[in-house]
Amino acid sequence: MVLDIRVLFVRHAKEVSNTLRRKGVTAENAADLTQETFLRLLSAEAHAEVDHANPRALLHRIARNLRIDQQRRERLVLKDELADEAFVAISDDRPSPETIVSDRQRLAIVTVALAELPDRTRQAFQMHRLGEKTISEIARELGLSTTRTWTLIREAYLHVRARLHEKV
């Protein structure tokens, strides 16, 4: 006789979960253990280890064993209750060493790429990117049209981007 897991789940999942809840398991853990119970039943059935006489009892036995295993694991884990402020203090916002190395390499590539640009193009790019000036402000300072200034800045972006993609 092959068990119909869907039928068993519909009939007994809530009952198994409620039984776990009465034993002191949280709602989230009870849901997880209930799912795991049915997965174990599927696995046992695939290996012909299932006693088909009373599948309900088998489900409860599997759930009980899973709860016991979980309690044993929890006893081995050291717990420390922390306030939300303490969790924030634990996190480290600093970049990883790999990120630092990568960023430094990319910065060196950008520095070389900027040095390769013609003076006016580099100056327009730096005024726009580092000086945070608008294209019209840069055009007035350099005595160029806004279209020409935009073209210089665009050429600089494309050049820097090309150099970064070559080295990556």
Identify the architecture of domain 97-167 in CATH: Orthogonal Bundle (1.10)
pLDDT of residue 94: 85
Parse the chain into domains and list their residue ranges: 5-76, 97-167
CA-CA distance, 99 to 105, in Å (whole number)?
Answer: 10
Confidence of residue 87 (pLDDT cuts 50, 70, 90): confident
Place of tokens 């300072």: 141
Q: What is the dihedral of CA 94, 97, 99, 102, to 10 degrees?
A: 140
Length of the chain: 168
Helix spans in 23-90 (H): 27-46, 55-76, 84-90
Residue 6 has pLDDT above 70, yes or no: yes
pLDDT of residue 21: 94
Q: Which residue has the higher pLDDT, 134 or 85?
A: 134
pLDDT of residue 157: 95
Per-chain mean pLDDT for the chain: 87
Confidence of residue 42 (pLDDT cuts 50, 70, 90): confident
User: Could you tell me the CA-to-CA distances from 95 to 92, 136, 154, 168 in Å, in that order?
Assistant: 8, 37, 30, 19
Instruction: List, for residues 93-149, the tens digit of each pLDDT value.
Output: 788 899 999 999 999 999 999 999 999 999 999 999 989 899 999 999 999 999 999
pLDDT of residue 111: 94
pLDDT of residue 45: 66
Region 40-57: what's the mean pLDDT? Answer: 72
Confidence of residue 49 (pLDDT cuts 50, 70, 90): low
pLDDT of residue 93: 79
Region 30-49: what's the mean pLDDT? Answer: 81
Confidence of residue 167 (pLDDT cuts 50, 70, 90): low
- pTM of this prediction? 0.46
